[in-house]
Chain A
């Protein structure tokens, strides 16, 4: 007897009466049908946002960064805030796919595909900002270390902004590979079920000739592990490097050694919140409640309350250090111009959204409430956006020399650009939801017989057996 046993005390990861075929049907059939009206509405709104964003970017590139409301004192505003925010959001996908894979967390299978897709799209959005925010975006290639006839002039390897270039591009590449390699068996499934020639052709190309042979599976598993191994340090490194943009500077409020762990925790925090937002909608619209269960959401809410508390701890540590460090500039930044002062409101939005409100997730009832989870996921992302805004703007607007103190409100192209990245993100996500299996079919199947509700029910007989009998049966199984 070969037994895949999981305690029945553990919640099933797939609800309902499922077999392998049913799983395939549930997940693949939306790809084969026509999208619903809601999909079209959503897709059109996304495209419009993307168009408006493109126009805002065009406006800014044509007339100069001066159309933004940044100034001599505040060189970064919504641009870099949005960059850090989007990068942070990306982190959940990698964490789910890589670290949870290595930790053998079976529940990741229900959400990893969408989470990884979200990572890819979020990093795509994030990448726009450091490029477009440049004064001379057409010279952006200067930032790449390529051989040239200018001396050659080399990039400045001391600059954290350059490290960003490497960190983000590596991150994007690895995430994309990881995501795509996971998609191959599922694409093959779509191909095999295809009833139209075009679909067969396209998914055939996309599945790289996957036949499902044992060798394929073996290599696929090995690749997954290798990529998971590669991606794991990236989860920690990318946001660490993003935090170096600030931590290595001399500006009070930026110059802080706590930033790397604080940023990583914040990234995971906001990433999981974004996964929640997306999945709550996705599972509803695509009728995937049995695969993305309340249990999944609860697991993620636990991560949210943990990372939210880590972040809260970091905020308090910063305040403590600002006092304990006895640096008058830093003290002023934190206590007079961040927690108070003209931009003080943003600090308290951040505190409320990131530290106070996630504490509701200490209560199981709250963790398992879809409505609360959805609202919280939005609040957390608002809070995390403000965290980046607070770090960037409240440090810059009142730094060393009071003569330069300034204030900042975004102009319409800055807001438009941000909305445009939402457009990009959701355009991609809508296409993904329509054309890609939003749940990893192959991976769900791998845990179905352990953690599927109907299979778990069969395990109940063993729960009643004595330990000796169970051990005997296992030992003498044929």
Chain B
């Protein structure tokens, strides 16, 4: 059969060339994806994955690159003394309202950014307070007056001078009054004297918002000298404070903390310490640090002093003290005072002349004069004269005053009868204010001639007779302000500038030697070569008269009212300081407000009390408090340890909106409750009434739970127990020995890292920490810690790297208090480090727990896992450091270009969403190491100091290299304080680099810590 041939098309049949070509190729058409052009393309198909991978990687890398660099403008002409990146230090003095702290100001690129205590001063020995630490921020306060003005309109100094001199000469002989708060500067006083000398009948009235006039008057009556003596708490074995908060607000706390701390350090070989009694109405910082504390009504203050005088053997009849506890306490205190004749001291915070005379009499009997009280170099801390002030206001109202020049004082706000002062000021022909802000008084003055901030000024100060200190400008004046002394010199026709005047004065005093003046400015202080021997003064007070007046004082009503100063805000002068406003009050832990402090017993009358419900709500019941015909509505705050019938309110709040964004409208003004007894101001009212209003108001506290629940995080014992068995306080550490001889190595499966070279460590002595909070503010200033404002504090969003935990224990009406500074413990086995998914927190080979802010993504896992809860998230954009527009959260002008000048350029500003915490001031440590390296020697102990350590006036914080056998920290840990030393939560094997030294109370009762283990811990 013939093979049939089938064909598909004519091409095949004829077998054309074209067809043959097609047959040869497997595919009739070229495959589109295998064409030469595609395979040879720049990105061929087969390289797709390669390119995909590359572009993804490239995009990832590009995305992780930094945003464009913004360049700063360098100096065109670099000032000789400024090296960018290197700090300059200038000695200066903090002398606001008579509080005296010589300081060293750190400036960077011409900006003052931090103040430290001047260690050359033997008065304060380098101590500071929270207010001193915060004062640098006030330099950059946006609410400062920026120019001279007349009637609210900006003017030139020349115009102002012209008008003021014209007005002064047109007074027609009416007296000119310079009204100031306490001034420590002798040269300024000289300038004032020269100015006033030009005007007949003129006078200088010194008025202190919180007055010590009673004490001055009492001393005049007792010793014939209107002075405040120097107190030497460091020489005292027994200290009795009758409502004098010398650790917090009384006269000069920086000095007294330093002195008192010396009596509270425990030498393990020979344990002894001072015994400290406090009799007071409210719970003060000093009361919180008392060994024995008793509360009484303010109306009883005189009676308590009298009873004490009687008990120490004074020739008075002791009034009956109804409260047996207090009566016993007086006997006990008297016994101790007598037993320590010449080594004891009684101080009183009363502004009542008679009470102070009684106190002088006690001190005379117990031999305090010349031992713990020194009249050889009396202090000038307060000079206010209440009676003169009252007379001035009366004269003003009578229209007999020609001109009032206000310098530093603010009576329109803090005078007890402010409306009367305001009325009087209207009747004065010429009102000039030198105040640096448009405060309540300044806004009423036609002429505003703002003074420099003290960091821009020249000045001197004589804190104590013979002890001088200086103020020099650390920055050119930021605004068109002028030194008050320059104004006065100009108005008195003297053409010398104040700077020259001061210099001439001192160069002359120093024997015409310019280099001596330079040296003085460098040191900041002049002190007698040898301190004058302590000397007393002969007591000649009218004890019987004073006692009679005290006994005839009217008895208190149902409730009584006490006004007090807060440690941070004081009399209100620095109220517009956001750092200080946000500083938790040492006792109440509340921020940004004043409130009516009442006891738990009194609170129960308003159906509220300490407990879970009170803790979990920030809303507090508002009370209406009436006294002296005035009334105020304030939220209540329960403060254990306040007398059950007493309401305590802090002064310094309720400022006008012009005072500044931070202070304006916060709290209520309590000064109207002050009364004038004809001689001095009384900062209490013996007859107050209190009622509920039905409304509520939030109070932002940083700590709501008051008890440490008997947990061994705080260890304390009594001196007697400690002497009997020094090991007892740390008995629970024996349990750790079960793991083996070395808990560090034996209690873990993991290998131990040996720290070679430097290993940083800190020791905090709970016995000398008084809880004043200077460290908190020092840390804030040093590390650019953000201010968050009241609402955010109420939400638990405050940023402080270092907080001071305050725990009450025992009875709610008579509690014991312990302060525990709590900051990152820099654990060597840190729970935070291993949980961070991105490794943003890690450990340095010097033992520092580090934060890489740029790496942090804000999961907060580290903070959750931190047993000490010291990590702080930037919950919002506090400082404009993120790239979102218009989401800045700034309630206190902390981000104004002016305010930002306070930022420490060595510490990065953290952006929103990142975690931060104590860094052990790593910038200071690096600086110290670098310095040592440049100088070619190993790091010396003490060369690297943390900000908190440096700020502490009690020396409670010791920091250093624990690998250095000569370091103080090494000695504390291994030689001196082995019995008291413990680590918080040591049993969790976090291996903290901060140790604490157990607190020791000089009291007879059994230690609370021990009983707390057995009993149900009391919710204080």
Binding site for B on A (CB under 8 A): 62-67, 69-76, 130, 133-137, 139-143, 146-150, 153-156, 158-162, 165, 245, 248-251, 328-329, 332, 341-342, 396, 398-407
Q: Contact at B869–A155, with CB atoms within 8 Å? A: no
B839 on the A face (CB < 8 A):
yes
Chain B residues near A63 (CB, 8 Å)? Answer: 876-877, 887, 889
Interface 1/0 per residue, B615-629 and A, CB below 8 Å = 110000000000000
Chain B residues near A71 (CB, 8 Å)? Answer: 795-797
Chain A residues near B796 (CB, 8 Å)? Answer: 71-74, 406
B679 on the A face (CB < 8 A):
no
Q: Contact at A341–B861, with CB atoms within 8 Å? A: no
Rounded to whole angstroms, the CA-CA distance of A364 and B499 in the bound complex is 98
A401 touches which of B64, B805, B836, B874 (Cβ 8 Å): B805
Known pairs A136-B913, A149-B65 / 13 extra A-B pairs, C-beta < 8 Å: A70-B875, A72-B797, A130-B859, A134-B859, A135-B874, A135-B912, A136-B858, A146-B60, A159-B834, A162-B837, A342-B613, A400-B868, A406-B704
Chain A residues near B612 (CB, 8 Å)? Answer: 341-342
Q: Contact at A401–B713, with CB atoms within 8 Å? A: yes
Closest residue of chain B to A63 (Cβ to Cβ) is B887
Across the A-B interface, the 7 shortest Cβ-Cβ residue pairs:
A135-B858, A71-B796, A135-B913, A66-B875, A75-B860, A403-B805, A404-B869
Chain B residues near A160 (CB, 8 Å)? Answer: 835
Closest residue of chain B to A159 (Cβ to Cβ) is B837
Q: Contact at A342–B616, with CB atoms within 8 Å? A: yes
Chain A residues near B856 (CB, 8 Å)? Answer: 135-136
Q: Contact at B867–A399, with CB atoms within 8 Å? A: yes
Interface 1/0 per residue, B787-811 and A, CB below 8 Å = 0000010011110000101110000
CB distance from A374 to the nearest CB of B (A): 35
Rounded to whole angstroms, the CA-CA distance of A162 and B835 in the bound complex is 9
B860 touches which of A135, A400, A407 (Cβ 8 Å): A135
CB distance from A126 to the nearest CB of B (A): 15
Rounded to whole angstroms, the CA-CA distance of A153 and B852 in the bound complex is 11
B837 touches which of A165, A341, A342 (Cβ 8 Å): A165
CB distance from B856 to the nearest CB of A (A): 7
Interface 1/0 per residue, B979-1004 and A, CB below 8 Å = 00000110010100000000000000
Rounded to whole angstroms, the CA-CA distance of A332 and B713 in the bound complex is 15
CB distance from A55 to the nearest CB of B (A): 15
Rounded to whole angstroms, the CA-CA distance of A134 and B63 in the bound complex is 19
B711 on the A face (CB < 8 A):
yes
Rounded to whole angstroms, the CA-CA distance of A140 and B856 in the bound complex is 10
Q: Contact at A136–B711, with CB atoms within 8 Å? A: no
B863 on the A face (CB < 8 A):
yes
CB distance from B484 to the nearest CB of A (A): 43
B872 on the A face (CB < 8 A):
yes
Q: A75-B864, A399-B869, A400-B867 are in contact. Are A161 and B709 (CB under 8 A)?
A: no
Q: Is the interface of A mostly helix, strand, loop or mixed?
A: loop
Closest residue of chain A to B835 (Cβ to Cβ) is A159
Q: Contact at A155–B837, with CB atoms within 8 Å? A: yes
B494 on the A face (CB < 8 A):
no
Rounded to whole angstroms, the CA-CA distance of A153 and B60 in the bound complex is 14
CB distance from B376 to the nearest CB of A (A): 44
B839 touches which of A149, A155, A250, A403 (Cβ 8 Å): A155
Q: Contact at A402–B835, with CB atoms within 8 Å? A: no
B822 touches which of A73, A332, A401 (Cβ 8 Å): A401
A72 touches which of B705, B863, B887, B889 (Cβ 8 Å): B863
Q: Contact at B912–A161, with CB atoms within 8 Å? A: no
Q: A71-B795, A72-B796, A153-B839 are in contact. Are A64 and B861 (CB under 8 A)?
A: no
Interface 1/0 per residue, B845-881 and A, CB below 8 Å = 0000000000111111101110111011111110000
Q: Contact at B867–A161, with CB atoms within 8 Å? A: no
Rounded to whole angstroms, the CA-CA distance of A332 and B63 in the bound complex is 48
- 15 cross-chain CB contacts under 8 A: A63-B876, A70-B875, A130-B859, A133-B860, A136-B911, A159-B836, A165-B837, A248-B834, A250-B865, A328-B711, A398-B705, A400-B867, A402-B706, A404-B869, A405-B705
Interface 1/0 per residue, B107-121 and A, CB below 8 Å = 000000000000000
Q: Contact at B867–A251, with CB atoms within 8 Å? A: yes
Q: Contact at B855–A142, with CB atoms within 8 Å? A: yes
Closest residue of chain B to A250 (Cβ to Cβ) is B831
Closest residue of chain A to B985 (Cβ to Cβ) is A400
Q: Contact at B869–A161, with CB atoms within 8 Å? A: no
Most buried by A among B709, B860, B884: B860
CB distance from A341 to the nearest CB of B (A): 6
CB distance from A193 to the nearest CB of B (A): 34
Chain A residues near B889 (CB, 8 Å)? Answer: 63-64, 66
The contact size tier of chain B is 35 or more
Q: A65-B913, A136-B914, A159-B836 are in contact. Are A401 and B861 (CB under 8 A)?
A: no
Q: Contact at A402–B707, with CB atoms within 8 Å? A: yes
Most buried by A among B807, B863, B911: B863
B57 on the A face (CB < 8 A):
yes
Rounded to whole angstroms, the CA-CA distance of A70 and B792 in the bound complex is 11
Chain A residues near B711 (CB, 8 Å)? Answer: 328-329, 400, 402
Closest residue of chain B to A343 (Cβ to Cβ) is B616
Q: A65-B913, A401-B805 are in contact. Are A156 and B834 (CB under 8 A)?
A: yes
Q: A75-B863, A148-B60 are in contact. Are A66 and B837 (CB under 8 A)?
A: no
B708 on the A face (CB < 8 A):
yes
B52 on the A face (CB < 8 A):
no
Chain A residues near B820 (CB, 8 Å)? Answer: 403
Rounded to whole angstroms, the CA-CA distance of A150 and B912 in the bound complex is 21
B915 on the A face (CB < 8 A):
yes
Chain B residues near A139 (CB, 8 Å)? Answer: 857
CB distance from A322 to the nearest CB of B (A): 16
Rounded to whole angstroms, the CA-CA distance of A249 and B820 in the bound complex is 25
Chain B residues near A248 (CB, 8 Å)? Answer: 834-835
Chain A residues near B838 (CB, 8 Å)? Answer: 142-143, 153, 155-156
Chain A residues near B601 (CB, 8 Å)? Answer: none
Q: Contact at B831–A249, with CB atoms within 8 Å? A: yes
Q: Contact at B839–A156, with CB atoms within 8 Å? A: yes
B703 on the A face (CB < 8 A):
yes
Chain B residues near A141 (CB, 8 Å)? Answer: 60, 63
Closest residue of chain A to B1013 (Cβ to Cβ) is A328
B31 on the A face (CB < 8 A):
no
Rounded to whole angstroms, the CA-CA distance of A407 and B615 in the bound complex is 8
B 49-85 contacts with A by CB, 8 A: 57, 60-61, 63-65
Q: Contact at B855–A153, with CB atoms within 8 Å? A: yes
Rounded to whole angstroms, the CA-CA distance of A148 and B913 in the bound complex is 22
CB distance from B674 to the nearest CB of A (A): 35
CB distance from B861 to the nearest CB of A (A): 6
Chain B residues near A405 (CB, 8 Å)? Answer: 615, 704-705
Closest residue of chain B to A329 (Cβ to Cβ) is B711
Rounded to whole angstroms, the CA-CA distance of A440 and B531 in the bound complex is 98
Chain A residues near B874 (CB, 8 Å)? Answer: 64, 135
Rounded to whole angstroms, the CA-CA distance of A48 and B914 in the bound complex is 32
Q: Contact at B708–A402, with CB atoms within 8 Å? A: yes
Chain B residues near A153 (CB, 8 Å)? Answer: 838-839, 855
Q: A66-B795, A135-B912, A401-B869 are in contact. Are A396 and B837 (CB under 8 A)?
A: no
Rounded to whole angstroms, the CA-CA distance of A189 and B341 in the bound complex is 106
Q: Contact at A142–B857, with CB atoms within 8 Å? A: yes
B 697-715 contacts with A by CB, 8 A: 703-709, 711, 713
Chain A residues near B60 (CB, 8 Å)? Answer: 141, 146-148
Chain A residues near B872 (CB, 8 Å)? Answer: 72
CB distance from A319 to the nearest CB of B (A): 20
Chain A residues near B63 (CB, 8 Å)? Answer: 141
Q: Contact at A62–B837, with CB atoms within 8 Å? A: no
Q: Contact at B861–A75, with CB atoms within 8 Å? A: yes
Rounded to whole angstroms, the CA-CA distance of A152 and B577 in the bound complex is 43
